[in-house]
Amino acid sequence: MFFVSSVNAQRDNPSNKHKIQIRHLVSFAPVVSLYKNDPNLTTDTKGKVGFCASYKSEFITGKKMNYIAGLDYIDQRLSFNGYFAAPMHTYLYDKTFAYQHDINIQELQLPLGIRVSFFNKPLNNYVPYFTGAVKLRYLLKSSAIIKDDSTNTTIYKGSNPSSITFESNIPSPTINTCLMAGLGIQHNYKDIDGAIFFEITFNYGISRFQYVGYNNSNDLGIRNAFLAFAFGWKF
C-alpha cells in the first residue's frame, strides 16, 4: 500500500505535470518573396521562388502555448528593370529602365516565438495551431547580375557584400529583425512519438534592403516580405 501511495503521489505531483520537455522540428519550405521597389527608379519588380531550411526547438509546457527557438537559412531572389550608372559616368533618368537586375540574397534568421494549439486535445491526431515569432536577421551573402536589356549584354556579374545591406544601421548594416506569423496543422504518430506538420507563414522585414548595385551604380530602398510553405518532421 505504501508503494502504491508513493506512485500515485508522484503521478499527481503538480511539478511532474508541468515539467518542460523539448521537441525538435526540422522543415523545408519553398519561399515566395514579395518586394516593393521605388516606382520612380524601377519597373517590373518580381520576386522569384527561393527556399528556407529550418531547425527549431519547441519547449513543451503542457498547455496550449509552447515556445520555439531555432535557426533558419533563407535564400531569396528578385529581379527588376532599372538604371545603371557606370563608375565615373552620369546617367539620364529618362524612364527607359534599360537594365535588368537579378539579385540573390542569403541570410540566417534566429526566431524566438510561440506555437499555440487551437484545442487542448488533438482531433483524430490532428492539431491545428498558430505560430508567431520575432526573428533576428543576419545577411550572409548577396550577388547580382546586371544586363543591358536592349542587347542582353552582361554588364556585371558577381558577389559584393556591400551591394545589399539593411537600410537601417541599427544595430548594423547586416543585422536587423523581422516579424513572422502563420497557421499550421500537425498530425501526431503516437506509436513512434513523432509528428509531421505543414504550415504557412508570412514574414515581414522591419528594415528595407538597401541596394547600391555595382560600385554604387544604384541607390534603392526595397521593402521585403515573403511567404513560406513549410513541410516538416517533429521528433
Grid cell, residue 5, equals: 501511495
Fold of 20-234: Porin (2.40.160)
pLDDT in the model for residue 114: 97
C-alpha pair distances (Å), 75 with each of 34, 105, 107, 214 = 13, 6, 7, 21
Residue scoring higher pLDDT (212 or 86): 212
Task: Give 161's pLDDT tier (boundaries 50, 70, 90).
Answer: low
Q: Is the pLDDT of residue 4 over 80?
A: no
Q: Which of 13-27, 107-121, 198-212 is the least confident region?
A: 13-27
Gap between the Cα atoms of 107 and 98, Å rounded: 29
Q: What is the pTM of this model?
A: 0.85
The neighbour count for residue 148, using CB atoms within 10 Å, is 13
Dist CA 221 CA 218 (whole Å): 10
Q: Are 105 and 139 in contact (CB under 8 A)?
A: yes
- Confidence grade of residue 20 (pLDDT, cut at 50, 70, 90): confident
Give the Cα separation of 40 and 44 in Å (integer): 12
**pLDDT category, 160, cuts 50, 70, 90?**
confident
For the cut 80, the answer to whether the pLDDT of residue 159 exceeds it is yes
How far, in Å, are 38, 83, 84, 85, 162 from residue 216 at the CA level?
A: 16, 11, 9, 8, 9
Domain residue spans of the chain? 20-234
**Other Cβ atoms closer than 10 A to 4:** 8
How far apart, in whole angstroms, are the C-alpha atoms of residue 109 and residue 134?
A: 10
Burial 116-131 (b: 16+ CB within 10 A, else e): ebeeeeeeeeebebbb
Per-residue pLDDT tens for 25-69? 999 999 999 999 999 899 999 999 999 999 999 999 888 999 999
